[in-house]
Structure formats: structure tokens, C-alpha cells
Amino acid sequence: MNIQVHIPYPLLVERLDEILRREISPEIYMDAASLKIASGEELEEIGKAFTWAGLSVTVHGPYIDLNPGAPDEKTRLHTVEVYQAAFDAAARLAPKTIVLHAGYRASLFKGGPELWLSQSRKTWPRFVRLAEPLDMTIAVENIYEKNPQTQLALIKDIASPNFGACLDTGHLNVFSSVATEEWLRALGAHLAEVHLHDNNGKNDEHLPIGEGTFDFKTFMRLLGEHADSPVLTIEPHGEEMLDKAMKAVRRIIPAC
């Protein structure tokens, strides 16, 4: 079983030969700045290199100052513009999934999620149409969500096999107000990807598995019961954390 490793695009370009030599399957983080400098030719060459090496590629799209369900229409339209650039890049890389943030936060939508869902309906269908011929799944990630219901409502509303969920264990540990089992029961059938990292329940520290308080033993059991082989990704923050994160994930998933 392959584990994807979160790698920012500039670092990927700089260390491409080493990453290929170490047989690391990357989740390429394309922020807005990277999207502006990455050429189509360069992206195609990177995609081919990983294909020839028998390694899979996924993409994490930009998220800073973006929200696909923003109450402010100017912000939503800016998000659409940046997402379009991300999908143009993804078309060159041929990833299995592209992770993008769902954008719901209760403090921004004090009247409830209806406005967020209405705004989200304007954003996602065009990108689902782009994902379908690429055989790529859009995975919308939880961040500040306290329960799975808004993600589930969005996935059911869009109703496409190319539109699913990304469940982030670090975000669950900090922000969830319900049991992990409730998340897996609700989203398991729709899970396209899972981000595996740990923290102490207060800050999103991106620690290796086992260095925080999240119950990975229970999580992996529930994942096996409710989901059908989603992409598994580690998100070490800093190169010095990579080897520790790889060793930690292999302790709970020996086949990796």
C-alpha cells in the first residue's frame, strides 16, 4: 500500500531526483504562488516521471484566503479563479485526487450552513465536470467543522462519484465535538482521502502518528469498517519530520 507524502511544489522541483530515488509518492501542494510559476511543460514532465517510476500522485490545492462557499461573492469568485488554475495544473499531473477545503466555519455562517451550501452549489459543478474526464476525484477536506453533517450535505448535493471527502485526523482532534465513529459512519462511503497526522488536541501541530493524543488504533479500525480504500496521506511539516512520520505510519499500517 502506498502512502502519499505532502510535499510543497517548490521543494518537489528542487529535490525531484531524490524523491524519485526514495520512491516517495507525493501529494503535491500547489499554493497560489506555485500555480503562477509552474509551466505546463514542467508539470507534464513531473507527472510522467512519477508514472514511469510506478508512483502515484495526488494534489493539494491552494486554500489561503479562499473559500468555495464564501458568503462574500467577490471572495467566492476569486476562489473559482484560483481553483481553475489548480485544475489546469492537475490536468498536466494526472493525480488520483485533488484535495480542496470545504470552507464551512460556523462563526462565518452564524445563521447556519444554508448560505454556505447555496454558495458552494455555484462553485463545485464546473470543477466536477473538469474532474470527470481526468478520472480524478475532488476530495473536500474538513478543518473547523465540528461534525460531519455539512460535508455530507455538500457531497449528497453535488452527487458525483468524482466528488468525495477528505478526512483530516489532526483537524478532527482539535475541532470535532462528536465521536470519531460518527464521522466515519457519515462519510466512510464517500471518503476519497485521509490525512494522517497527530496533535495534542489544542493546536494543529502535524505531529507523527503516536506523538499526540488522537486514537489512531480506533480510527484505523473504523476506517476499515466504513471506507473502501481511500488514499492515505501523511503531512509532515518540515523535512526533519518526514522519516519520523514514515516510520510512525508503518507501525499502524505495516504494508506501507
CATH of the domain at 70: 3.20.20.150
Partnered with residue 139 across adjacent β-strands are 99, 164
**What 3-state DSSP class applies to 31?**
coil
How confident is the model over 72-91, as a mean pLDDT? 98
Look at residue 109 and tell me whether its pLDDT is greater than 70: yes
Instruction: For the chain, give the longest Cα–Cα distance.
Output: 51
Phi, psi of 232 (to 5 degrees): -110, 130
**pLDDT value at residue 222:** 97
How confident is the model over 107-127, as a mean pLDDT? 94
- Look up cell 473504523; give the residue: 222
Count the domains in the chain.
Answer: 1
Is residue 122 a contact partner of residue 50, using CB atoms and an 8 Å limit?
no
Look at residue 50 and tell me whether its pLDDT is greater than 70: yes
**What 3-state DSSP class applies to 35?**
helix
**pLDDT value at residue 252:** 83
**pLDDT value at residue 37:** 95
Look at residue 1 and tell me whether its pLDDT is greater than 70: no
Q: Which domain holds residue 80?
A: 4-252
Look at residue 241 and tell me whether its pLDDT is greater than 90: no
Task: Give the cell for residue 130.
Answer: 473538469
**pLDDT value at residue 240:** 76
Band (pLDDT 50/70/90 cuts) for residue 2 is confident
Look at residue 24 and tell me whether its pLDDT is greater than 90: yes
Q: With pLDDT > 70 as the criterion, what percentage of the chain qualifies? A: 98
Residue pLDDT, tens place only, 130-163: 999 999 999 999 999 999 999 999 999 999 999 9
How confident is the model over 178-205, as a mean pLDDT? 97
